[in-house]
């Protein structure tokens, strides 16, 4: 399982509670309880599939007697019209879960699709990694990070406690790059690497002298990125970040940086177009 069930259920229950805290007046008033139906999630546009387990869990939490069929696995690119998942059982329950299931899976498939687009924009043979950032939808980070991986990209740190990342305001508060890195080394476990954000080549030299493990090059132009790669080769991993688009991605990767972090993978991914087609069970 890609996510611990208690974590997934907390998200699912919160989502269902938001939509069903007062019941479903429409389904309960118009659909007899004995009516059974089949709901099929269908792609209305090309997309990378993501969220089958979430789709299933939404309906299982509503009605454990519902049956589920996964028609296409997560991470697969499909065209318009592809049938993705199927749920069968009480028509009332299917209707009650429809919007919650689609809201989450449309979001996840949208992130996965955009991540795949960025990965495929890398130059042929590139070893540069595309990663996400912590610019995620509050409460949905675990789903969006999974979606990034389904798209073929990688995850950055999961939370503030997952890694040491010394950014510009940390450097100001600590009194400089050297003192910030020194303090981090005294506190960090031996399993943790230390990343430092720099804004220019002078700060890059300070971070290298302080023996930072990873250096984030914030909004560096291409010529500065290439020079940073030359200076840091064999000394630290380099991460390019800030304002990188699909149009500039290949040129940034061609400088030789190890990682390109892209906040847009999560904060600007459009929802994928997925619909639930309902048919009465025979």
Query: What are the residue ranges of helices labelled H in 123-237?
Result: 141-150, 168-174, 177-187, 201-209, 222-232
Distances in whole angstroms, Cα of residue 5 to Cα of each of 18, 27, 50, 170: 20, 28, 17, 36
99 is an active site residue: yes
Rama region for 125: left / alpha / beta (φ>0; ψ in -120 to 50; rest): left
167 is an active site residue: yes
235 is an active site residue: no
Selected catalytic residue, list 9, 63, 213, 218: 218
Selected catalytic residue, list 135, 157, 185, 231: 135
Count the neighbouring beta carbons within 10 Å of the beta carbon of residue 105: 28
Distances in whole angstroms, Cα of residue 45 to Cα of each of 50, 70, 269, 275: 14, 19, 15, 10
Q: Tell me the three state secondary structure of residue 49.
A: coil
Selected catalytic residue, list 144, 197, 203, 239: 197
Cα gap 178→201, rounded to integer Å: 15
Nearby residues of 221 by Cβ (< 8 Å), 6 or more positions away: none
> Annotated catalytic sites, by residue?
99, 135, 167, 197, 218
């Amino acid at each position: 399982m890609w996510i611990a069930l208690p974590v997934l259920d907390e998200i699912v229950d919160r989502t269902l509670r938001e939509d069903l805290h007062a019941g479903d007046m429409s389904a309960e008033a118009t659909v007899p309880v004995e009516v059974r139906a089949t709901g099929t999630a269908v792609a209305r546009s090309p997309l990378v599939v993501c969220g089958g387990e979430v789709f299933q869990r939404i309906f299982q939490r509503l009605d454990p007697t519902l049956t589920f069929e996964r028609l296409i696995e997560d991470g697969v690119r499909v065209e318009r019209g592809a049938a993705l998942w199927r749920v069968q059982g009480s028509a009332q329950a299917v209707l009650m879960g429809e919007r919650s299931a689609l809201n989450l899976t449309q979001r996840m498939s949208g992130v996965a699709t955009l991540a795949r687009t960025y990965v495929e924009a890398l130059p042929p043979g590139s070893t540069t990694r595309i990663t996400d950032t912590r610019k995620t939808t509050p409460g949905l980070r675990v789903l969006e990070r999974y979606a990034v991986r389904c798209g073929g990209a990688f995850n950055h740190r999961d939370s503030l406690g997952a890694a040491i990342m010394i950014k510009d305001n940390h450097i100001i508060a600590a009194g400089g790059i050297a003192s910030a890195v020194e303090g981090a080394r005294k506190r960090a476990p031996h399993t943790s690497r230390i990343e430092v954000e720099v804004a220019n080549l002078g700060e890059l030299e300070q971070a290298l002298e302080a023996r930072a493990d990873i250096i984030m090059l914030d909004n560096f132009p291409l010529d500065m990125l290439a020079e940073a790669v030359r200076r840091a080769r064999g000394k630290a991993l380099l991460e390019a970040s800030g304002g990188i688009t699909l149009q500039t991605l290949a040129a940034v990767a061609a400088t030789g940086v190890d990682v390109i972090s892209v906040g847009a993978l999560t904060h600007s991914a459009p929802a994928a177009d997925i619909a639930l087609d309902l048919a009465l069970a025979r």
